[in-house]
Amino acid sequence: MPRIRISLAAALATLVVGVQTAGAETQVFKDMLRPGGVARTQDQKFADGQLCGATANHTFTDVPAFQQCMRGRGWVVDHVVPDPKPTWIDPQTGLECHQAGIADVCVTPHGTVTYTNRHGIPCKRTGALAICTNL
């Protein structure tokens, strides 16, 4: 079951909900009521989030119920932002990898990485160039 987290994008004055699972996303909520033409405060957003089922650490599990409850309180999903794919450095090649379906996809890393190859030799990789030496 997905785990959800609430945080705030202050610049947009919106409520943000992020799913903490593989294929995660962030749902950005916006204030549709705007009483007196002014967006409600962050504290009001978090209070409504808690009334809609969020815990003290801003997590919940029932996304449809949360969205429906927030809609009833004047908050609607403004847009959805996919979370970046988790990446790691392959300890044998120094390449930056991420999971793509049933396979891992590895590309040259951004910047320089230090790693130990499968033969136990320390290596340094910058882009496509890898230098391994035990001297």
Residues 12-66 pLDDT 10s: 333 444 333 444 667 778 899 988 888 898 899 889 989 999 888 766 778 899 9
> Using 50, 70 and 90 to split pLDDT, how confident is the model at 84?
confident
Give the pLDDT of residue 31. 92
Q: Which helix (H) or strand (E) holds 129?
A: strand 129-132
Nearest to 92 by CA among 117, 121, 74: 117
Length of the chain, please? 135
pTM for this model (two decimals): 0.51
3-state helix, strand, coil in the chain (%, to 5): 20, 40, 40
- Give the contacts of 12 (CB within 8 A, at least 6 positions apart): 28, 30, 78
Give the pLDDT of residue 70. 92
In this predicted structure, the answer to whether residue 7 has a pLDDT above a threshold of 60 is no
Give the pLDDT of residue 32. 92
Mean per-residue pLDDT over the chain, rounded: 79
